[in-house]
Amino acid sequence: EAGVAQSPRYKIIEKRQSVAFWCNPISGHATLYWYQQILGQGPKLLIQFQNNGVVDDSQLPKDRFSAERLKGVDSTLKIQPAKLEDSAVYLCASSLGLLGNQPQHFGDGTRLSIL
């Protein structure tokens, strides 16, 4: 079974530029998550999708971050404009669904550096 795929693995941009990350979840997983992991901290949930609908985006800085999952499979996360504090690893995860206790499976992340 293929895992969660993310690209790119690394990205370096200057502040105020824009950047986009892509995620392909495990086949058949209805729920998709984006997390931000700042160095020395645990992952923090940014947004959660169930199929192509948003379940929770309460911690997404909506003035600069956006995410979509138009066809209920792949997802993109965008930052525009980027700030220095956005330097982090952006992790995508997926799980079978919202019912019951389902572990989330993570991709290897995109490491973003803001200059």
Partner 1 sequence: DQQVKQNSPSLSVQEGRISILNCDYTNSMFDYFLWYKKYPAEGPTFLISISSIKDKNEDGRFTVFLNKSAKHLSLHIVPSQPGDSAVYFCAASPLGGAQKLVFGQGTRLTINP
**Residue numbers of the site for partner 1 (CB under 8 A)?**
4, 31, 33, 40-45, 48, 55-56, 91, 93, 95, 98-109
Cβ at position 81, least distance to partner 1 in Å: 27
Residues found in the chain = 115
Of the two residues 66 and 102, which places its CB atom closer to partner 1 in the complex?
Answer: 102
How many Cα atoms occupy the beta-carbon half-sphere of 5 within 13 Å? 7
Cβ at position 16, least distance to partner 1 in Å: 28
Cβ at position 36, least distance to partner 1 in Å: 11
